[in-house]
Amino acid sequence: MNHDERNREEDDDIAWLAILAGREPPGADPRTQREARALRRMLLERAPSAGSAPGPSWEAFKQRLDREGWPEAERPRRWVRMPQALAAGIALMVVSVTALYSVWSFRVLPDLSADFDDYPLARGDVAVPERFVAHPRRAVEGLKRQLKALNLPYRVQEVARGLQVEFYVGPEPAPSVASFLDEQNWSVGDDYWVRVLYREQ
């Protein structure tokens, strides 16, 4: 299966799931629409309703709780209740150590956005489109600002030929992301990542 076919199949799956969930994705294949709608209609007819059968008794449960004592709510996990200042301090320390290590080891570490948590799959047959600019670093900084504004996780990495930027747009990009991609004329990979290589002119 080539890339186009795989992309089409993934898009079709996304549309099928969206219709099954009751949404109306634009441009879905008519056969996909018919199948997903028929399935949804059947499943909804069989959806249980809370009042359709006598269920467990709240009174019995409440009596048990009153007898045994209501369970204590767990204290929020440490990271949830960590004071913001402390969290910021730890983050600053991590960033500082990372930066120092980078300088010390003369290596350029990948520059990751804060919410970057999923590395793209390395695929040998993915051709990374190249963009030739006068100042790649400056151009990448500008792009990073745009990606942050769009809440897109990204990774910037120095490679032999320039700076490679990768960011994840997900299966259903927000309209603002879709128009950004259109403006830039960038296409999305079949793993929902966009990759661009900035090179010096």
Q: How far apart are CA 148 and CA 141, in angstroms?
A: 11
Half-sphere exposure of 76 (CA within 13 A, CB side): 5
Q: Is 114 in the site for another protein (CB under 8 A)?
A: no
Instruction: Based on the shown chain and the rule CB under 8 A, indicate whether residue 45 belongs to the binding site for another protein.
Output: yes
Select 62 or 135, whichever has its Cβ closest to another protein.
62
Contact status: 134 vs another protein (CB under 8 A): no
- Alpha carbon dihedral 106, 107, 109, 110, in 10-degree steps, equals 140
Q: Is 122 in the site for another protein (CB under 8 A)?
A: no
Shortest distance in whole angstroms from residue 190 CB to another protein: 11
Nearer to another protein, 34 or 135 (CB): 34
Look-up of token digits 């670093």? 137
Kindly state whether residue 34 participates in binding another protein, applying the rule CB under 8 A. Answer: yes
Burial 16-40 (b: 16+ CB within 10 A, else e): bebbeeeeebeebeeebeeebeeee
Q: What angle do CA 10, 149, 110 make, to 5 degrees?
A: 75
Q: Can residue 73 be called a binding residue for another protein (CB under 8 A)?
A: yes
Q: Which stretch binds another protein (CB under 8 A): 16-24, 87-95, 142-150, 179-187?
A: 16-24
Residues that bind another protein in the complex, under the rule CB under 8 A: 9-10, 13, 16-17, 20-23, 31, 34-35, 38-58, 60-62, 64-65, 70-77, 80, 118, 171-172, 191
